[in-house]
Chains A and B, each alone.
Chain A
Amino acid sequence: MTKLVAHTRRAFVRNVTLGAGALAMFRGIGLLAAQASGDTKVKAIFIDFDKCSGCRTCEMACSAFNHRADVGGKMMEGLGNPELSNIRVWHYNPDVDVPVTCFLCSDAPCVETCPVEKHPSTGRKALYRDPLLHTVVCDYDRCIGCGSCAVVCASSRGGVIERNPENGKPGRICTLCGGDPSCVKYCTYGALSFREIELDEPLRNMKPGDIAGKLIEKYYEITHRVN
């Protein structure tokens, strides 16, 4: 029997150290190290909505990477479970498919709104920016589970943050898989790529329904309001 284990940073480091993919991973991180935090241009997941076919392979790949399986004491990628995925493909009728994951918003309203005081030595709130990857990270030991981050993400951005039903703490925040995003790796349609982009370019930082509305207008030349 296998057991699913959340893929924490600690587990990641351990796996990288032990795993065969260690070299490739570190090369990815090396590239990113040059990038200064706070830039509007960072390396992020770029979504080409024209190319997404809605197959949701990315959801399976993301959740498999970020939720490891304990196979008889050996930590391996899981099989994937869309419920645990940090990227989600939203389907609409008329047919458009909208993959949405943490946009790494340059102003990060989720971090802004986090009410936990900055840590005296690290200067970090419970929710903070990873200096290396630019991802939003939660310090679960300090997080009070208030849910402010999820609220502001849902009301003004992609609504990717979901709260753990047991303790209210945020989840589903993209980890970039430590620098080599699995979703990108397994998207054969070329809809996802990991590259340097302008964080505020069109169709980013929006709710999936609003993106869908714009895409429906673009492809089918009709106005259609969706939630």
Chain B
Amino acid sequence: MNGYYGKLLDVNLSNGKVKVIDIPESDMRNFIGGRGLGMKILTDRIKKPGLDPLSPANPLLFMPGPFCGLPIPNSSRTCVVTKSPRTNPANPLYKHSSGIGYANMGGFFGPELRFAGYDAMVVTGKARKPVYICIEDDRVEIRDASKYWGMKTDEFDRKFIEDLGDRRFESCYIGPAGENLVPMACIINTAARAAGRGGTGCVMGSKNLKAIAVRGTKSPQVANHEKFLELLELSRKTFAGLDDGVKRWRASGTTGALENSSNNGTQAVKNFREGTFEEVQKIGTLANREKIWKRDFACFTCQLACKKSGNAKGAYGTLVHDGPEYETGTMLGTNLLISDLNGLQKLIYDGDDYGLDIISAGNVIGFLMECYEKGLIDTDFLDGIDLRWGSVDATLEMLRKISYRDGIGDKASRGVKYMAALIGKGSENFAIHVKGHELAAWNVHRNPGSYGITYTMSNRGACHLSGGSKTAQDSMALRDSLGTCSFASSWFRNDLHYRHFMSAITGIEWSEKEFVMAGERIFNLEKMFNYREGFRRGDDVLPERFYTEPYTIGAAKGAVVNRDSFEGIQNKFYDERGWDRETTRPLKETIDRLGLGYFLL
């Protein structure tokens, strides 16, 4: 199919075999690429439920989209798809029941994989000793990585590229957390960007795979060259206009949301107890501009440059890293009542350096801080750590212990659902997760209709980027499949709609209906995978806190979620989706309409 190579790179680390497999044209048509095509390949490989996510048979997919490698602005994203070690149903049907995992990262890796001539990459098996995979176009080698094992991501990022001897390589890798099979480990690239959620780094570690390096010299082609160039010119002009939106992203990235969200009462504060943090301005945009940020940096073809790098000076020394973003600044900042900017940057640096999912790590540490404050656990339980709200030192020690699965860290590394079951004493009510996956930095009380749906219906467990309605979910699934960045989506409307690019790329006229349906198909396939593992209505629930503990401060003081009304919203959602209200099973007509009958429920 035009716009694709139709090639899946298949690396088996158990027997060292490398294959290039043709991707059926219908799969590209129906599942696009990225998250969608990754899901299709995953379901082709996992025929039965209950597979241990850390077994060699679990496929780990690296999925650029069809936009990657083309000059379309903001088309850099790679989706990592696998069976997640993070989520499990309340009533598991199998010992290893778990849901799908996908995590999306920016940077340069996905485009480079396309320059090397692949639309998809799958890693299966398990190497006998630590290895990395080196891809140079058609040449693919599995190489010894023993000397890198144990290396944190920042040092690895610098060392690895020097050893490869060519700075044109792009790479992604795990840190100690992934090596140590910490379930909340992530995959990092450029020492700062992460395929953060769902335990992708843990799966990579279970394969003894430290890193993948790729360099390519080819380029994808399109069906309607002239039309594509027209759209390209128009889209570039749109960004070149530097409207307020572009300026805002460049000025403050996602960090601008720190203060806005706090003011609106939508921020995760004190383990999601509140939505507002009084000291937020100490870690907000202005403070960062003044004290930390030196440079803006962008992903491949990006026009927004939302990432900022700099160095904070203070008690934790001078360290250079990307500054707080909304998620990292909230989960390791406001959620723990930390407002020391130098300390916060050190926490973010360490989290990335270990290769940890900072959202889940900040969430579980917040939970333990609350348990400690309430006297449900003591310093003995915490290996002597005085885990008080706002303590940078205690948080640093927790991050280290989680990454090395040392003592309390080993327990905490399994996440907040596990910890609540272990501690008990009512702590389940403030264990902030859905399906075992911790909530991200947007709090629920104020916007249950949107964020409640986002979190409870997300197929990878609580996720802030899943979409707050059927329409939003379907379009997010599409974006994650195209390889484009959701932050830039508002510039791709009307004449510049993604589907016009897809029509020019593939030479197939994509109708709006068909395009939207592809997103719906992808979301439903994920849901069917989860259903087969045993996820039911009882797994689509919000933590109890949101129903029973109204905010006590801030603009949204008093906000709380009404149980009946939220369940009503959920019922409507299942109906709209064509899923059974009681079981959440997608109805036969839904499955047939989307052509997903191949997947046996």
**Which one of A11-19, A27-35, A88-96 contacts B?**
A88-96
Residues of A within 8 A of B236 (CB): 57, 186, 188
Residues of B within 8 A of A74 (CB): 226
Which residue of the partner chain, among B229, B302, B309, contacts A76 with CB atoms under 8 Å?
A: B229
Cβ of A167 within 8 Å of any chain B Cβ, yes or no, is no
Given known pairs A54-B297, A81-B217, A186-B236, the reply for A71 and B311 (CB within 8 Å) is no
Which residue of the partner chain, among B71, B191, B217, B295, contacts A61 with CB atoms under 8 Å?
A: B71
Instruction: Please give the distance in Å from B76's CB to the nearest CB on chain A.
Output: 9
Cβ of A181 within 8 Å of any chain B Cβ, yes or no, is no
Segment 299-355 of B: residues with Cβ below 8 Å from A: 299-303, 305, 309-311, 318, 320, 322
Residues of B within 8 A of A91 (CB): 108, 167, 190
Cβ of A53 within 8 Å of any chain B Cβ, yes or no, is yes
The answer to whether B301 touches A60 (Cβ under 8 A) is yes
Cβ of A56 within 8 Å of any chain B Cβ, yes or no, is yes
Chain B residues engaging chain A, CB cutoff 8 angstroms = 70-71, 73, 108, 115, 154, 157-158, 162, 167-168, 190-192, 216-222, 225-226, 228-229, 236, 239-240, 242, 246, 294-303, 305, 309-311, 318, 320, 322
Given known pairs A69-B225, A82-B115, A188-B242, the reply for A55 and B302 (CB within 8 Å) is yes
Which residue of the partner chain, among A57, A88, A96, contacts B301 with CB atoms under 8 Å?
A: A57
Residues of B within 8 A of A95 (CB): 190, 192, 295, 297, 309, 320, 322
CB-based A-B contact count at 8 angstroms? 108
Cβ of A139 within 8 Å of any chain B Cβ, yes or no, is no
The answer to whether B302 touches A79 (Cβ under 8 A) is no
Residue of A nearest to B157 (CB): A93
Instruction: Please give the distance in Å from B71's CB to the nearest CB on chain A.
Output: 4
Residue of B nearest to A72 (CB): B225
Starting from the known contacts A54-B297, A79-B70, A186-B240, 19 additional A-B residue pairs (CB-CB under 8 Å) come to A2-B225, A50-B295, A53-B297, A55-B301, A55-B305, A76-B226, A76-B229, A77-B229, A79-B222, A79-B228, A80-B71, A91-B167, A96-B295, A219-B294, A219-B295, A219-B310, A220-B318, A221-B311, A221-B318
The answer to whether B167 touches A56 (Cβ under 8 A) is no
Which residue of the partner chain, among A53, A76, A221, contacts B305 with CB atoms under 8 Å?
A: A53
Which residue of the partner chain, among B71, B297, B322, contacts A64 with CB atoms under 8 Å?
A: B71
The answer to whether B309 touches A227 (Cβ under 8 A) is no
Residues of B within 8 A of A116 (CB): none
Residues of A within 8 A of B190 (CB): 91, 93, 95
Residue of A nearest to B305 (CB): A53
Q: Please name the 4 residue pairs, one residue from A and one from B, whose CB atoms are nearest each other, closest first.
A: A81-B219, A53-B298, A55-B298, A60-B71
A90 CA / B219 CA spacing, docked (Å): 20
Interface residue tally on A, bucketed by range: 35 or more
Instruction: Please give the distance in Å from B166's CB to the nearest CB on chain A.
Output: 10
27 contacts across the A-B interface (CB closer than 8 A): A53-B295, A54-B298, A55-B298, A55-B299, A57-B73, A57-B236, A60-B71, A76-B225, A76-B229, A78-B219, A79-B70, A79-B225, A80-B71, A81-B217, A81-B218, A81-B219, A82-B115, A83-B217, A83-B218, A88-B168, A91-B108, A91-B167, A93-B154, A189-B305, A219-B295, A220-B294, A220-B318
Cβ of A1 within 8 Å of any chain B Cβ, yes or no, is yes
Question: Binary interface profile of A, 76-116, with partner B (CB < 8 Å = 1, else 0)?
Answer: 11111111000010110111110000000000000000000
Residues of B within 8 A of A79 (CB): 70-71, 219-222, 225, 228
Cβ of A24 within 8 Å of any chain B Cβ, yes or no, is no
Instruction: Please give the distance in Å from B420's CB to the nearest CB on chain A.
Output: 38
The answer to whether B309 touches A53 (Cβ under 8 A) is no
A221 CA / B311 CA spacing, docked (Å): 9
Instruction: Please give the distance in Å from B206's CB to the nearest CB on chain A.
Output: 27
